[in-house]
Structure 1
Amino acid sequence: MSDALINGLAGAGGGIIAQTITFPLQTVNTRQQTERDERRNEGTIEQMYQVVKREGWNRLYGGLTPSLVGTAVSQGVYYYFYQIFRNRVEATALERKIRGIGDGSVGMLSSLAVAALAGCTNVLLTNPIWVVVTRMQTHTKKTQPGNAPTIDSEGAVLVKKEQLPFGTSNAIQEIYDEAGLWGFWKGVFPTLIMVSNPSIQFMLYETMLKKLKERRSLNKKSGVTITALEIFLLGALAKLGATVVTYPLLVVKSRLQAKQTTGGDKTRHYKGTLDAIMKMIHYEGLYGFYKGMNTKIVQSVLAAAILFMVKEEIVTVVRRVLVKESKHGGLKR
């Protein structure tokens, strides 16, 4: 099994676990990003409570199924291509070292470029999944009159209301009816720019990990082994730095992917990325670009930390198993 495939599968597994644990926070955050009503200033916990009260517990997990599929595909694609690009860059660096150029290590800019290329590949392939997820997260349950009205003790007619279902197929149909196939790539431009988020994240992560390993190698007593807790903390710090820098683009992307008003209120309808940015500046000010940022920091940092920790553990376990199998196979022969 290739190193790229191991990292791809490990990334997918870690992403699924992290996504499942933090999904309610993600749902609340997406609603905060797309909320235009300035009178509503509910905190994260309060908004979660209101969603449960008005729409039920299941709404906190609206879009979880396509999100898990998207996470598995996204993380798998990202880590797979990241490792392929990384291997090529490392091979080039070693060739340069042999020719007497450089020390054979991959520099910070090269690491950034590798992460960006993997991120762009990932975005172009998986954007339709995230449009569906955003639509399901921001959809509020609607009701329609039931078929069997009843009469109360005073003779008044009571009309039962039934909740209209809204699953993955409904979201896909709604998006297609609004904008055709292009609708599934709404928000792709700011998302491509947001490739800088994982690029910054992985650059910070690998830089901190490298320095920690170097420090450990100098201290022979402690060894070079990095614990799962240290990986968790490094992943959290890396994601925190990346999120603070790129959050405004995430808000713009969510606004474009959510269902938009097509009636008279033009402030709620965005023709594209630039139109969304200009209208948000005009009607909401800079604050509009940072709605729900506290929730996002908690959710993304926690998810990234879990993802890194689980991924590294999976990679370590798989490599150990493969090494044991190869040794046993060698002994048999």
Structure 2
Amino acid sequence: MVASKQLHSQRCGGPPPQLHHHRPQLGTVPHLLAGGVAGAVSKTCTAPLARLTILFQVQGMHSDVATMRKTSIWREASRIVYEEGFRAFWKGNLVTIAHRLPYSSISFYTYERYKNLLQMIPGLDRNGGFGADVGVRLIGGGLSGITAASMTYPLDLVRTRLAAQTNTAYYRGISHALYAICRDEGVKGLYKGLGATLLGVGPSIAISFCVYETLRSHWQIERPYDSPVLISLACGITFPLDLVRRRMQLEGAAGRARVYQTGLFGTFGHIVRTESLRGLYRGILPEYCKVVPSVGIVFMTYETLKSILTELASDD
């Protein structure tokens, strides 16, 4: 039957019909593995820019803004190389990988699960049209980001504190940092800045997943450069929340006095009063430089690993 259809098609001048092979669904463990490795690879590749962002974000926290040194990306990068060595660009990267492996695994995996659950709601199913698809991707992405951030937050806080250390190292590694924070600040100290993190990561990851999936589904081939641009826009919108959470994560670090006493909104107000609105955007330039390759690497690695693992599963 297939041969006769192909022969008829060729006689009529048309292409032979395509035979569609069912590709096996990726299991839970390979799905988690692909997401985790993708996040770790992306973070390692962009670690120097990430560290520069953190160092800029925490400027002014314990310094007089009027006398704070004028600096630039090049000047700060040169200082790191001169004072700490080139390897210092990856300071805290081990805990970054330890954080990113579960974080990315959870976010990619739960995104697919949340999306499937949302599509069971009338009006948001696969026949709901483009608007329903976008809504599912936004809500699913936001929920997956919040879930992943909540479950891995202590490692994120430790990463920030290790990366913010310059010449004087109070924390000697991941385990020592976890122990010292619990000893000095209590277990609650491991969750400083969680509120700001969830407020920032929800819309950021929602936009990231939504833009990526929409472009991939519709016009990624024709307009391959739109995704990083829109992700960069999301970065700019949520960046003040990221800066506030970094500073809240460093509250009381290494026995220093507390600077912000009034929670999330009080911290926003304190920064605006003492450093002006520009203070909320310290470090946004290296963040913009980082976000485009970071997003590209993570999704490229994720799709490549998914493809490889799916092929391996089909061979079995």
Give the whole-Å Cα distance in 2 for the aligned partners of 1:22 and 1:95: 36
Question: 1:78 maps to which residue?
Answer: 107
Task: Give the aligned residue type for 1:291.
Answer: R
Counterpart pick for 1:57 among 75, 78, 86: 86
Task: Give the aligned residue type for 1:245.
Answer: I
Secondary structure of the 2:53 match is helix
CA RMSD, Structure 1 to Structure 2 (Å): 2.8
User: Are residue 248 (structure 1) and residue 240 (structure 2) matched?
Assistant: yes
User: Are residue 239 (structure 1) and residue 227 (structure 2) matched?
Assistant: no
Per-residue CA distance 1:198-230 (angstroms, 9 max, x = gap):
1111112222222216x87xxxxxxxxx9xxx4
Question: 2:181 maps to which residue?
Answer: 175
Note closer, same or farther for the CA distance 1:169–1:261 as it changes in structure 2 (3 Å cut). closer
| Cα deviation, residue 80, structure 1 | 1.0
User: Are residue 23 (structure 1) and residue 47 (structure 2) matched?
Assistant: yes
Unaligned runs of 5+ in 1: 143-162, 217-225, 326-333
| Cα deviation, residue 189, structure 1 | 0.2
Counterpart pick for 1:203 among 198, 210, 223: 210
Aligned positions of 1:183-332 closer than 5 A: 183-194=189-200, 195-212=202-219, 230=224, 233=225, 235-260=227-252, 268-325=259-316
TM-score of the two chains, using structure 2 as the length reference: 0.81
- Check the 8 A contact 2:184/2:255 in 1, yes or no: no
Give the whole-Å Cα distance in 2 for the aligned partners of 1:294 and 1:281: 19
Aligned positions of 1:76-115 closer than 5 A: 76-92=105-121, 102=128, 106-115=132-141
Secondary structure of the 2:218 match is helix
| Cα deviation, residue 322, structure 1 | 1.5
Note closer, same or farther for the CA distance 1:114–1:50 as it changes in structure 2 (3 Å cut). same
Aligned length: 286
- Check the 8 A contact 2:35/2:105 in 1, yes or no: yes
Note closer, same or farther for the CA distance 1:263–1:118 as it changes in structure 2 (3 Å cut). closer
Note closer, same or farther for the CA distance 1:324–1:90 as it changes in structure 2 (3 Å cut). farther
Give the whole-Å Cα distance in 1 for the aligned partners of 2:256 and 2:176: 25
Task: Give the aligned residue type for 2:143.
Answer: L
TM-score of the two chains, using structure 1 as the length reference: 0.77
Task: Give the aligned residue type for 1:300.
Answer: V
Note closer, same or farther for the CA distance 1:102–1:269 as it changes in structure 2 (3 Å cut). closer
Give the whole-Å Cα distance in 2 for the aligned partners of 1:40 and 1:212: 46
Question: 1:124 maps to which residue?
Answer: 150
Secondary structure of the 1:140 match is coil
| Cα deviation, residue 28, structure 1 | 1.2
Give the whole-Å Cα distance in 2 for the aligned partners of 1:95 and 1:238: 24
Per-residue CA distance 1:41-81 (angstroms, 9 max, x = gap):
32212211101212223332221111101010100011111
Counterpart pick for 1:34 among 41, 58, 73: 58
Give the whole-Å Cα distance in 2 for the aligned partners of 1:96 and 1:259: 45
Give the whole-Å Cα distance in 2 for the aligned partners of 1:103 and 1:60: 46
Give the whole-Å Cα distance in 2 for the aligned partners of 1:308 and 1:234: 14
Give the whole-Å Cα distance in 1 for the aligned partners of 2:42 and 2:307: 18
- Check the 8 A contact 1:94/1:105 in 2, yes or no: no
Unaligned runs of 5+ in 2: 1-24
Task: Give the aligned residue type for 2:46.
Answer: T
- Check the 8 A contact 1:201/1:241 in 2, yes or no: no
Task: Give the aligned residue type for 2:73.
Answer: T
